[in-house]
Chain A
Amino acid sequence: MTTRTIEFREALREAMSEEMREDLRVFLIGEEVAQYNGAYKVSRGMLDEFGPKRVIDTPISESGFAGMSIGAAMMGLRPIVEFMSWSFSLVAADPILNNAPKMLYMSGGQFGCPIVFRGNDGAGGQLGSTHSWCVESMFANVPGLKMAIPFTPYDAKGLLKTAIRDDDPVFFLESERLLSIEGEVPEESYTVPFGQALIRRPGTDCTIVSFGRPLYFCLEAAKTLAQEGIECEVIDGRTIKPLDIDTIVASVRKTNYCVVVDQSWSFASVGSEIASQVHQHCFDDLDNHVMRVHNDDVPAPYAYNLEQEMLPNARKICEAVRAVTYNA
């Protein structure tokens, strides 16, 4: 397989463009996706290739265009809805939570909703609380949707292609902080299946589970901890729904310790859910309870130092791993 190095945002663009070439039912809609080339340049050039009827600029009207796209999906189109930020999806809570994930059920199997909602999730960089939402815990609570959080350009492309082809609604959570990172991506078409976690770093002493951007903090922490003689196994869950608990459990059975790193807030979170499931499956394997590292339980602050401190950063992960393995 021939590969080349491209940016995360280019990987996203390739996924959308390839699927739009393959399937006329697929279209991209959102604020500034067309003439502006994307607020974050993810859709650069797509207007030129596909024209304004398939790359569609909307007014700032998330509730309206999310709901409208759901109506289109009920009829069998396959919309890709870009939220400039998932923070802005909150004004569209009713359509994305009440309509998209429940349409199939409420209609007794008559109307599915093959739609992708995608955009930046998590703290961008000193954007303050309203723009720094991590929606994964809140939205993963809702049955009927799937949720993917890519970590590398390879996964960004492969998971997004899977999301677009999926017949169920997919919440696709990207990170503004990752859009410019580069990675190896094959020239050939490929997909990454949902529900298959990946071991990003093998290790024997403690399992660290995370999704998306915090995996960088995890890998950084793992490097530091290795110098202390603690070899961490870092697992990239890739999709929160469906969750590949089997890969996590297999790792914890080997290491006997587990730290979950989740960039959303701790109370009733993805992190607490994974910790609960690990306790359920690995009760006899664990040599300590599962520990969790989250955003601090405060609104995201503006000041640089405060924001860095709030994040589930490498220092906090190191502290958690040392504590859970009795090396504190």
Chain B
Amino acid sequence: MTTSSKPDITPQSASLKAKGPSTDLLKQWLRDMLLIREFEVRTMQAYQNKKIGGFCHVYIGQEAVAVGCTAALEPNDPVVTAYRDHGHALARGMDPKYGMAEMFGRIGGCAKGKGGSMHFFDKEHHMYGGHGIVGAQTPLGAGLAFATKYEDEIINGGVSNRVTLSFLGDGALNQGSFHEAQNLAGVLDLPVIFVCENNGYSMGTAISRGTTMGHDITSKAAGYGFDSAVIEGMDVIEVYEGMKAVVDKCRETSRPAFVDMRTYRFKGHSMSDPRKYRTKEEEQQYAQDDPIDKLANELMNNRGLSRDEYDVMAKEVKKQIREATKWAEASPIPDIEELYRDVYVEKFGPYSGTSLPAMLED
């Protein structure tokens, strides 16, 4: 394998884009991104109306990353991420009503109201969370890759054929767990891709202030001998094309890789962030780079999407999220008995065993 601190995947040329994904697929991605955006807009409203408690981190601005990465995967490839997890769950296929109900603390939530915004899980869609401690999900991601490979090779006697995406933010680059996960993935040849959603800030700390070599974070992977790529995360087509190459290679070689996914969160770190650490000019500049506008423009200018078609799509998405929110509000709060369920699989003492959320049974 080649080891390089330089990206080995270059941004797409216009001609490659033209040959890329079909128009229907692009429309689907546009719809998926609109769905995430609308979900997050509603989430912010609900948070301000005190229907959502705790910490809440929205994905607005980063939609192209989850959608493009998901498109590059097979349905049974595992993904795991940190606390800014709504977009990944929705992109993976979770019905938004289960996510909204989770944040409302209702029994209909994806984790029966026990996880909240930061802990979305969806077994059917191979979404392994939603994890609240920065960097903690990266060894889990290595473990998911370990398990797919172990299952494929040892239990099923075949060859490793699944790839795990382990997302992290740029803030996790400096956690020990991430470096331990990378080292293990390298030593054990694990088919895992660490996708760093590099939005430039770990909470309020700019990457240049907290991360050595922050201008070239692929250097973090070079030391572990990984292939790495820098991908323009504000363009879903580039995300897909770039990730497809990385994913395909990872699947073929069962070797880990690292991606510096350049993105930007349009909102604050969490709901209580006045964003004093960055300038209005910077925000305005990135607003010009909105991944949804970008794809909509591409579709309208070059792929024959009409304004009406777009409006219908946006309207449908709004309706879907409105209905999801209604459904979540109508979902009952958990019975007090839920307190002692899912602590242990086994029933003993006050513990009443475990049960699956309605999401998996509907």
| Chain A residues close to B by CB (< 8 Å) | 24-25, 27, 53-54, 56, 58-59, 61, 63-77, 94-95, 98-99, 103-112, 114, 143-144, 146, 166-168, 195, 242
Contact A75 B148 (CB under 8 A): yes
Instruction: Render B320-362 as a binary contact track against A, CB cut-off 8 A, 1 for contact.
Output: 0000000000000000000001111110110000111100100
Contact A74 B143 (CB under 8 A): yes
Which chain B residue lies CB-closest to A60?
Answer: B180
Whether A53 contacts B150 in the complex (CB less than 8 A), given A110-B121, A111-B128, comes out as yes
Question: In whole Å, how far is B194's beta carbon from the nearest beta carbon of chain A?
Answer: 13
Whether A75 contacts B142 in the complex (CB less than 8 A), given A98-B133, A242-B349, comes out as no
A71 touches which of B139, B188, B356 (Cβ 8 Å): B139
B143 touches which of A68, A109, A167 (Cβ 8 Å): A68
A-contacting residues, B119-175, CB 8 Å: 119, 121-123, 128-131, 133, 136, 138-148, 150-151, 153-155
Contact B136 A110 (CB under 8 A): no
Instruction: Render B85-120 as a binary contact track against A, CB cut-off 8 A, 1 for contact.
Output: 000000000000000000000000111111100010
Complex CA–CA separation, A38 to B130 (angstroms): 35
Whether A63 contacts B123 in the complex (CB less than 8 A), given A104-B345, A112-B345, A144-B344, comes out as no
| Chain B residues close to A by CB (< 8 Å) | 78, 80, 109-115, 119, 121-123, 128-131, 133, 136, 138-148, 150-151, 153-155, 176-177, 180-181, 183-184, 187-188, 341-346, 348-349, 354-357, 360
Q: Most chain-B CB neighbours within 10 Å: which of A54, A72, A103, A166?
A: A72
A-B contact pairs, 27 of them (CB 8 A): A24-B155, A25-B155, A59-B183, A59-B184, A63-B139, A65-B184, A67-B181, A71-B128, A71-B141, A71-B143, A76-B151, A95-B136, A99-B131, A104-B354, A106-B115, A107-B111, A107-B123, A107-B129, A108-B112, A108-B113, A108-B342, A109-B354, A110-B356, A110-B357, A111-B121, A144-B343, A146-B344
Contact A168 B112 (CB under 8 A): no
Residues of A within 8 A of B122 (CB): 110
Complex CA–CA separation, A74 to B146 (angstroms): 11
Residues of B within 8 A of A64 (CB): 139, 142, 177, 180-181, 183-184
Complex CA–CA separation, A105 to B342 (angstroms): 5
Residues of B within 8 A of A70 (CB): 139-140, 143
Complex CA–CA separation, A125 to B78 (angstroms): 45
Whether A110 contacts B147 in the complex (CB less than 8 A), given A64-B184, A104-B343, comes out as no
Which chain A residue lies CB-closest to B344?
Answer: A168
Residues of B within 8 A of A75 (CB): 78, 128, 143-144, 147-148, 151
Contact B155 A195 (CB under 8 A): no
Contact B349 A106 (CB under 8 A): no
Residues of B within 8 A of A108 (CB): 109-115, 121, 342, 356-357
Question: In whole Å, how far is A242's beta carbon from the nearest beta carbon of chain B?
Answer: 5
Residues of A within 8 A of B150 (CB): 27, 53, 72, 77
Residues of B within 8 A of A109 (CB): 112, 341-342, 354-357
Q: Most chain-A CB neighbours within 10 Å: which of B138, B140, B151?
A: B140
Contact B153 A68 (CB under 8 A): no
Complex CA–CA separation, A74 to B129 (angstroms): 11
Residues of A within 8 A of B130 (CB): 106
Complex CA–CA separation, A146 to B129 (angstroms): 23
Complex CA–CA separation, A65 to B140 (angstroms): 9
Question: In whole Å, how far is A215's beta carbon from the nearest beta carbon of chain B?
Answer: 24
Question: In whole Å, how far is B358's beta carbon from the nearest beta carbon of chain A?
Answer: 10
Complex CA–CA separation, A110 to B115 (angstroms): 11
Complex CA–CA separation, A54 to B128 (angstroms): 23
Complex CA–CA separation, A61 to B143 (angstroms): 14
Complex CA–CA separation, A143 to B139 (angstroms): 22
Complex CA–CA separation, A77 to B78 (angstroms): 15
Residues of A within 8 A of B188 (CB): 56
Whether A242 contacts B123 in the complex (CB less than 8 A), given A70-B143, A143-B343, comes out as no
For the complex of A and B, 5 pairs with smallest distance between CB atoms: A71-B143, A67-B139, A64-B180, A108-B111, A71-B140
Residues of B within 8 A of A99 (CB): 131, 136, 140
Which chain A residue lies CB-closest to B119?
Answer: A106
Complex CA–CA separation, A242 to B306 (angstroms): 64
Residues of B within 8 A of A67 (CB): 136, 138-140, 142-143, 177, 180-181
Contact A58 B184 (CB under 8 A): yes
Contact B181 A106 (CB under 8 A): no
Complex CA–CA separation, A103 to B187 (angstroms): 26
Complex CA–CA separation, A109 to B129 (angstroms): 13
Contact B155 A74 (CB under 8 A): no
Contact B177 A94 (CB under 8 A): yes
Contact B184 A76 (CB under 8 A): no
Complex CA–CA separation, A95 to B138 (angstroms): 11
Contact A168 B345 (CB under 8 A): yes
Whether A72 contacts B184 in the complex (CB less than 8 A), given A63-B139, A64-B142, A105-B342, comes out as no
Contact B344 A68 (CB under 8 A): no
Question: In whole Å, how far is A41's beta carbon from the nearest beta carbon of chain B?
Answer: 24
Q: Most chain-B CB neighbours within 10 Å: which of A58, A63, A106?
A: A106
Question: In whole Å, how far is B289's beta carbon from the nearest beta carbon of chain A?
Answer: 34
Complex CA–CA separation, A50 to B356 (angstroms): 35
Q: A63-B139, A95-B177 are in contact. List 13 more A-B contacts (CB 8 A).
A: A64-B177, A64-B184, A67-B142, A67-B181, A72-B144, A74-B128, A106-B115, A106-B121, A106-B130, A108-B109, A109-B341, A110-B121, A168-B346
Residues of B within 8 A of A103 (CB): 129
Which chain A residue lies CB-closest to B146?
Answer: A72
Complex CA–CA separation, A244 to B298 (angstroms): 67
Whether A112 contacts B177 in the complex (CB less than 8 A), given A77-B150, A168-B345, A168-B346, comes out as no
Question: In whole Å, how far is A321's beta carbon from the nearest beta carbon of chain B?
Answer: 30
Contact B181 A110 (CB under 8 A): no
Q: Most chain-B CB neighbours within 10 Å: which of A69, A107, A109?
A: A107
Complex CA–CA separation, A106 to B190 (angstroms): 26
